[in-house]
Amino acid sequence: MLSVVTDDGSTRSGSLIDEIVREGARRMPVAALESEVNQYIAELAAESDEHGRRLVVRNGRHRTRTVVTGAGPVEVTAPRVNDRLVDEVTGERKRFSSKILAPWCRKSPKISEVLPLLYLHGLSSGDFVPALEQFLGSSAGLSPATVTRLTQQWQADHTAFMDRDLAEVDCVYVWADGIHLNVRLEEAKACVLVLIGVRADGSKELVALKDGYRESGESWADLMRDCARRGMRAPVLAVGDGALGFWKALAEVFPETREQRCWGHKTANVLDAMPKSAQPGAKKTVQDIYNAEDKQHAQAAITTFAQLYRVKFPKAVKKITDDQDQLLAFFDFPAEHWIHLRTTNPIESTFATVRLRTKVTRGAGSRAAALAMVFKLVESAQQRWRAVNAPHLVALVRAGARFERGQLVERPELSAA
């Protein structure tokens, strides 16, 4: 029954509109459960025993229970069914089970989905009750223990993810990076090793996520060997920063994969070797290199950079000239893909959210829980990743097509035809 409305248009439990919504939420489940039971009994009305008595009949009601829903807590009294049917195959007695309200259900699936999302995106588990109690009208099912149980499931999900078969995951491009987070990974210098790939259809996908030590060669090699063991095919191009550990592991496990250094990391390294007064001009000169219209113009821009800064800042110039081939590798691929291939931004942008979450938690409690939380954050972010530009060209790259100045070069036999 609706509450009396006061002069200001509110009720004892809140605003009038909220009260109407809650009242509707109380009535509708009851009607739906009644309809479900009536239909079930009607479909089996012809089933009877040797004495002619029906095997499926109503049998009163279950005890009233409170279910937390998006409209607040709802008291539900579900009808009970006396179901005496026996399964002919197993010989076991059948039991009616509502598809609307499971016997164990104390909160709607949507509430169960909201809690981990709030936790992952910055709300501490201890804040659930004060934050949501007023909104939902009850604190039932909002305890920190709820998230504790969820993290156990996340750990199982991460384990299954890292054990899955990669034979069907054909990543043409991969980005690799080691991310240092404020989480408990047992070792002070531990980090999270991440591989994100681009499949032949142009979509991006998380390939692997594992903790490692200092981005060492052995940590990366262990991850790469595990991916190869599970059927991962060698990527055509790998993008990463200057960490020697990854490139050493890549050469060992996938020697045919080409290397592309991240221009974002490289620019930062170059500027760190210069005084602040010289950095603005040097940054623009570096940008002229990776924003060039083709490889030839990029090479000319490197020559210009060397001429301008070699005398005063030889270490800064050497950082680019020593890695020139690896820095300009992306020019040999479709022009539409250049913006994706010259940096590890797909990883950096994704982990901005992860860093926000780990600052809130002040440590995830254990290594397994930390990795599980990071995995779930990335998995959630993956749903918003967009495909690379001109996704149809990715399959051509895998097929070995040749590109000059970013454009597809037809094979000689096709041109002759």
pLDDT digits (tens, 9 = 90+) for 319-343: 999 999 999 999 999 999 999 999 9
Residue 226 CB contacts under 8 Å (≥ 6 apart), including other chains: 162, 208, 210
- Asked if 207 and 228 count as a contact pair (C-beta separation under 8 A), the reply is no
Q: What is the mean pLDDT of the chain?
A: 80
Looking at residues 127-132, what average pLDDT do you find? 56
Give the C-alpha separation, 6 to 18, whole Å. 14
281 pLDDT higher than 70: yes
Looking at residues 204-231, what average pLDDT do you find? 89
Position 185 scores a pLDDT of: 47
Instruction: Kindly tell me the burial class for residue 240, based on how many C-beta atoms sit within 10 Å of its own C-beta (0-12, 13-18, 19 or more).
Output: buried
Residue 244 has, within 13 A of its CA and on its CB side, a CA count of 0
- Asked if 25 and 69 count as a contact pair (C-beta separation under 8 A), the reply is yes
Looking at residues 385-405, what average pLDDT do you find? 94
Confidence of residue 415 (pLDDT cuts 50, 70, 90): very low
- 10 Å Cβ neighbour count for 73? 20
Confidence of residue 37 (pLDDT cuts 50, 70, 90): confident
Lowest-confidence pick of 44-48, 128-132, 135-139, 193-197: 135-139
Structure tokens at 35: 């309809």
Residue, of 141 and 91, whose pLDDT is higher: 91
Residue 325 CB contacts under 8 Å (≥ 6 apart), including other chains: none
Residue 36 to residues 42, 58, 61, 79, 101, Cα–Cα distance (Å): 10, 12, 14, 10, 10
Looking at residues 8-31, what average pLDDT do you find? 60
127 pLDDT higher than 80: no
8 pLDDT higher than 80: no
Structure tokens at 282: 């040097």
Structure tokens at 297: 């113009």
Position 119 scores a pLDDT of: 58
Lowest-confidence pick of 68-77, 309-318, 370-379: 68-77
Residue, of 124 and 42, whose pLDDT is higher: 42
Confidence of residue 135 (pLDDT cuts 50, 70, 90): very low
Residue, of 43 and 404, whose pLDDT is higher: 404
Confidence of residue 44 (pLDDT cuts 50, 70, 90): confident
Lowest-confidence pick of 13-22, 98-107, 114-123, 291-300: 114-123
Position 349 scores a pLDDT of: 82
Position 20 scores a pLDDT of: 64
Residue, of 170 and 155, whose pLDDT is higher: 170
Position 28 scores a pLDDT of: 67
Looking at residues 211-219, what average pLDDT do you find? 80
147 pLDDT higher than 80: no
